Amino acid sequence: MTFVAANETYAGSDVTRPKSLTVWFTGLSGAGKTTICKAVATELLAHGLQVELIDGDVIRNYLCKDLGFSKNDRDENIRRIAFVSQLLTRNGAIVLVSAISPYRAARDAARHSIGDFMEVHVNTPLAVCQVCDPKELYKKARAGKITGFTGIDGPYEPPLSPEITCYTDQESTRESSSKVVAAVLQYLTPTSA
Amino acid sequence: MTFVAANETYAGSDVTRPKSLTVWFTGLSGAGKTTICKAVATELLAHGLQVELIDGDVIRNYLCKDLGFSKNDRDENIRRIAFVSQLLTRNGAIVLVSAISPYRAARDAARHSIGDFMEVHVNTPLAVCQVCDPKELYKKARAGKITGFTGIDGPYEPPLSPEITCYTDQESTRESSSKVVAAVLQYLTPTSA
């Protein structure tokens, strides 16, 4: 690892960078991860904070064209997202990751490598995701046109102790995002010694 | 492209982020790119600036394990480095990229996508690189044990108009890095309207 750890403390001074973190949204396809992410981003921006949204689907286009949806490929996908999130977080951006990330170990590894990390489980029941199904992916998966689809013939391992759970079938987007924003703002507040 | 363009101007205020940029070091294997990069990083850190070093070899490990050294794979490698550099630059880091990046079009595409961009040609004669050859890569390439090696049986397309050229066979590392640092500091200085 030859990266310059440049941003924890400015060299030549005692000024420490403002604390930052990665907020990792995990949940089924169609659970509403990106919708909540965008609402959180809007609120944090209104607080004058620096935000970067990392959407799993977008990253697949830019960094992971070679990867499919096997367990190994999903793990490698998450490793790459975690790597980029780590770089951005240590440079002061509040990173909002939206990714199904079905495997617990991969998310825990991301938590470990990034350090400043908050896990948000967008806990929408599978039945609800299947009814909405805006891209008709569940329909295709049930018909066997897509294989290894999370929740149908691919596993989803929910977080055991996420910092936040959004119950999107009982909460509005605004209620979900406000919980996350409050937790982020608290995380960023300097604690007195 | 669904990224939140969050960092040009803070939402809810007219405060514009400090200007940043990517400094892209291109040159043959063994030319001294990473050595100069590290010297530049040290100097910029001493100026209290936020620096991130992106080493092509390291990125191959973290983001590009799937890629080899064909033209297509090298181009994809540079696209991924450019993508990460763009994210970091727009979040305020001064990004120092050290990558052979032998193809002019790929470097020009990186320049175009990142915007705030400075190209440094580490212009060390092939003969000098071959004499030093710390990893004995040239030796292996000449023996045919590595194929497609830049400068031996792979092309290197030098920049036509780099912002800076380091003539490492005529300059000390300090002389080379000082030129780059001066140009970076000038780039970051706000111009009066």
Q: Is the pLDDT of residue A6 over 60?
A: no
- On chain B, the residues whose CB falls within 8 A of the CB of A2 are 34, 53, 55, 58
Q: Which residues contact A73 (CB under 8 A, 6 or more apart)?
A: A67
Dig out the tokens for A182 from the structure. 């409050």
Convert the pLDDT of each residue in A45-81 to its tens digit.
999 999 999 998 888 888 878 888 889 999 999 999 9
- Percent of chain A clearing pLDDT 90 (strictly above): 75
* Residue B165 phi, psi (nearest 5): -120, 130
Contact flag A48-B88 (C-beta cutoff 8 Å): no
Asked if A76's CB is within 8 angstroms of B65's CB, the reply is: yes
What ipTM was reported for this prediction?
0.85
- List the single residue in B4, B52, B93 with the smallest CB-CB distance to A53: B4
With an 8 Å Cβ cutoff, is B178 touching chain A?
no
- The reported pLDDT for the residue numbered B66 is 80
Contact A55, A100 (CB under 8 A): no
Q: Is A68 on the interface with B (CB under 8 A)?
A: no
As a whole number of angstroms, the distance between CA B111 and CA B22 comes to: 9
Using the Cβ of B50 and the Cβ atoms of chain A, whether some distance falls under 8 Å is answered with yes
The set of catalytic residues of B is: 101
Closest Cβ–Cβ partner in A1, A3, A13 for B52: A3
Contact B14/A at CB under 8 A: no
Q: How far apart are alpha carbons B74 and B19 in whole angstroms?
A: 29
Q: Is pLDDT of A13 > 50?
A: no
Q: Which of the two residues, B5 and A145, has the higher pLDDT score?
A: A145
CB contact under 8 A, A80 and B62: yes
Q: Which residues, including other chains, have CB under 8 Å from residue A16's CB and lie 6 or more apart?
A: A8, A9, A10
Q: Which domains does chain B have, with CATH numbers?
A: 22-125+157-188 (3.40.50.300)
Q: How far is B36 from chain A (nearest CA, A)?
A: 14
Q: What is the pLDDT along chain B (193 residues), one digit of tens a residue?
A: 234 333 333 333 444 566 899 999 999 999 999 999 999 999 999 999 999 999 988 888 888 788 888 899 999 999 999 999 999 999 999 999 999 999 999 999 999 999 999 999 999 999 999 998 888 999 999 999 999 999 999 999 999 999 999 999 999 999 999 999 999 999 998 776 5
Residue A8 — pLDDT band, cuts 50, 70, 90? very low
Determine contact: A109 vs chain B, CB below 8 A.
Answer: no
Q: In this complex, which of B4, B63, B88 lies closest to A51 when CB atoms are compared?
A: B4
**Please, where are the H alpha helices in chain B?**
33-46, 56-62, 71-90, 104-114, 126-132, 137-142, 173-188
Strand order of the β-sheet with A164-166 is A51-55, A94-98, A22-26, A117-122, A164-166
What pLDDT, in 10s, does the model give residues B23-42?
999 999 999 999 999 999 99
Find the catalytic residue in A101, A172, A176, A178: A101
